[in-house]
A and B are shown apart, each in its own frame.
Chain A
Amino acid sequence: MSLQTETDTKRIFKQVGTRPVRPDGIDKVTGRARFGADMEMPGMLHGLVLRSPHPHAKVKKIDISRAAKLAGVKAIVTRDDFKMPKDKDLVDICANIMARDKVFYDGHAVAAVAATTKAIAREALKRIKVEYEILPHVTDVDEAMKPGAPILHKGMRTGGKDTVSRKDTNVAKRYVFGHGDVEKGFKQADVVIERSFKTAATHQGYIEPHACLASIGPDGQGDLWVCTQGHYMVRNVCAGLLGLDVSQLRVTASEIGGGFGGKTTVFIEPLALALSRKANRPVKMVMSRDEVFRATGPTSSTSMDVKIGATKDGRITAAHAELRFQGGAFPGSPVSMGAMTAFACYDLKNVQSIGYDVVTNRPKQAAYRAPGAPMAAFAVESVIEELASKLGMDGLDLRILNAAGEGTKSSYGPTFGLIGLKTTLEKAKSHPHLKARLGKNQGRGVACGFWFNFAGNTCVSLNLQLDGTIALSVGTPDIGGSRASMSLMAAEELGVPYDKVRTIVADTASLGYNDVTDGSRTTFAAGLATIEAARDAIGKMCGRVAKVWGIPADAVKWENGYAKPAGPNAGDFKPMSMAEIAAIAHKTGGPIAGHYEINADGAGVSFATHIVDSEVDPETGRVTILRYTVLQDAGKAIHPDYVEGQYQGGAVQGIGWAINEEYIYGEDGRLQNAGFLDYRIPVASDLPMIDTVILEIPNPGHPYGVRGVGETSIVPPLAAIANSVSNAAGVRLTELPMSPPKVLKAIGANGRA
């Protein structure tokens, strides 16, 4: 459903665009804020999970008898406690949270125990005997696609257009996007660059491990406290897996210590609920860091081929990509989004991207900030850079020449409206960063990137309190400071100071359904709903005032927080403040609230260009990031501090992904680096300040022009850094991460060691 909104780009905002302190701030700097593991209930038990040590095996028998006899053990669950759901969408989730006839990865859950203390639960796990029949495993995406590879799911056939497979395969689906005739296009090119790329699997790396506290009473009513990006999703999925009615389960979202997409699904929550139901006591479950790495949802490792051709004056005539992504043990890697976003920055007559979704013996992937797009951009933007070099053109100029703009038919289908790509490229060109001098062994790289941004189902309720302040309830967990932005938008619309609005994230019983906080959708969709709910409340307040004044409702207008007569003909009445209106609410009909429910669309796509300087130590291959600039279109920055925060955070996750982070599997199929010691995310001393430039090309689909900002910032870094390091090292790097041994090897092979 398309929303008829008018984006008033000439509007002068009073609150929006300022930088007030966020409402949840003080609790977070004093340690008062309650995260997933910070809740307790009387009689609470502790739950732990027994996990497979094998990457691929049949589970022949599970003997829990010795564990059940241990004093203090109150409940044990296995596959026998989870009936296969009828809902097709839940089948894979069910098999992932608790293994059924096979375990598919090192860390796959096989049983769970609830006991009076953690120590007893640990001992109980030791007493569970599982009989495995070990099967051959495969963890590499290209290996998994080869004929003769160990097959994970008997009967799997490749879905998608033009695919014919009669044999069991690990290729779940084939996607094709694009338009035009790439073969013809390549023939028209004067220069063609064709390269292959690989990226390792990475994890979102949120500092807070998954945690929840579940309580199902003898009446079948359940309460769940959980750190999640979507408590409505948790409610629906858990109800489905446990055979409960959705209304029997109330989920409260705690403060969340990072998600980035990794907390948009469930892992231990159904287990905690099942244990609680069996034990008839609350059960708390907190994952260890080791479990988070082994058994939650890292993103795909990839293998990609990209080919781009252009005429000698820089016009791209054809672009082709084949992307192979493994999404762990079950189908659903983000290869389709990688394929869709790969060439989205360019205005192309002939373009095709093909994507293969492959299963392997690794944990089932979950979304990671612009899923699929960073890897695809790494490949495409690296080739663009090489192309520019071959053509003797500046990389930014090549991009500007071929940039998508208003009216471009995108490579994934829709035609773009007003977009900000060219602006980010041109601003990058004139940015002082480009003028900074580079020293020995230093190199500069640029790259641009794209993300769709989502909208989705959203409900918001705005209530006028007795004292005239506003209680705003939203259903989208706050992962980046969105409560401050909601308060700003409500305050703006109502014309009242920011501190008169208190925003909370309500539980699932208090609001209608909300899609998860993902897809950079919250400021857009919940913001849009907030604005509409405020307008709804304004309409109602004006109606009440009209009653009191005895004039028609349309003779009352709203201005700067007051209800006023619309004109001199309406009458000479003193304007009423929200506090005064609240005072007359009870005698004019009752409490006053505004609300809004929508499945929104109209989210604006957003683009970014990044500039990176790096230095390579040619004797050790070590990479140092020297300087970083992010230029990104936010449409309208509601709270500029938090927009900058998204730009910086995404860039730094990109830095880690580009130079050090990777899932390392041994020959035995086991994860070797399941901790922060050897899964190396950037630390403060690794980094410079991250400079940001917020550009605002308003999104026509939002009343204030908002575009999502959370994800686009992670799309360009892999390529920008690869381009920078390749320039610094004097050799093109095509595999991520560009860890020191890889860089040193590449330099050595190039004869520069």
Chain B
Amino acid sequence: MSQIHVSTTINGDQAEFLCDADETLLDALRDRLGLTGSKEGCGTGDCGACSVTVDGRLVCSCLMLGAEAEGRKIGTIEGLANGDELHPLQTKFLEHAALQCGICTPGFLVAAKSLLEHNPKPTETEVRYWLAGNLCRCTGYDKIVRAVMDAAKQMRKA
């Protein structure tokens, strides 16, 4: 099986990699590009730890082939901050202690950013349902939801 050459854009930067036909985007990000921020929690789209955006759409990168990234714009956790300036979501997660072990955090941040792009003023219920595909075992979600709503509030003020 010969490898496929993929040209894509990751967090605004041009990127290229080689991958097998059946290699997932998650594998390509982690093993080919060294972007280990996206995590594999299950490999079957049930936990959201691998969340990325593809042309602005929130998806599980473990259920997408690396080859599909050709010509598309991929957004990962590594692209959330602006240089050394954290995104309000990142700041609020820290302030609210919305992470304990932190393994689910990249997925939640990417998913929450997508939520706020769609809906800048979500209710608590809307936040919970949008993030239902992101599993957390440590926090019970309470502080995560508070952090997201607080970040939304701050972003609306800006």
Contact = CB atoms under 8 A, between A and B. Distances in A.
Given A207-B47, A259-B101, A289-B42, 9 more contacts: A22-B94, A28-B102, A31-B76, A258-B137, A641-B143, A676-B47, A689-B145, A689-B146, A690-B140
B94 A208 contact: no
B46 to A, nearest CB: 4
B135 A685 contact: no
Interface of A: 19, 21-22, 24-26, 28-35, 37-38, 40, 119, 204-209, 255-260, 286, 288-289, 479-481, 641-642, 644-645, 648-649, 651-653, 675-677, 681-685, 687, 689-690
Q: Which of B138, B139, B144 has the most chain A CB atoms closer than 10 A to its own CB?
A: B138
A30 B90 contact: yes
B95 interface: yes
Contacts of B137: 204-207, 258, 260, 649, 653, 681
Q: Which of B76, B86, B103, B135 has the most CB of A within 10 A?
A: B103
A681 B135 CA distance: 8
A38 B36 CA distance: 6
Interface string B88-119: 00100111110111111110010000000000
Nearest to B77: A31
Contact of B97 (A34, A641, A683): A641
Contacts, number: 173
A685 B139 contact: no
B95 A481 contact: no
A192 B143 CA distance: 43
A119 B78 contact: no
Contact of B143 (A26, A38, A648, A685): A648
Given A645-B100, A676-B46, A687-B141, A30 B136 contact: no
A200 to B, nearest CB: 18
Contact of B80 (A30, A258, A288): A30
Contact of B101 (A32, A257, A652): A257
A312 B47 CA distance: 51
B43 A288 contact: yes
Interface of B: 20, 30, 34-44, 46-47, 49, 76-78, 80-81, 86, 90, 93-97, 99-106, 109, 124-125, 127-129, 131-146
A167 B76 CA distance: 60
Contact of B36 (A34, A641, A645, A676): A34
A690 B141 CA distance: 9
A207 B136 contact: yes
Nearest to B42: A289
A28 B99 contact: yes
Contact of B100 (A31, A34, A649): A649
A677 B46 contact: yes
A684 B44 contact: no
A681 B20 CA distance: 33
Contacts of A644: 97, 143
Contact of A642 (B90, B100, B103): B100
11 contacts: A37-B36, A37-B39, A207-B101, A257-B103, A258-B101, A289-B41, A645-B138, A648-B142, A652-B139, A652-B141, A677-B44
A17 to B, nearest CB: 14
Given A25-B94, A31-B78, A645 B139 contact: yes
B95 A21 contact: yes
A649 B102 contact: no
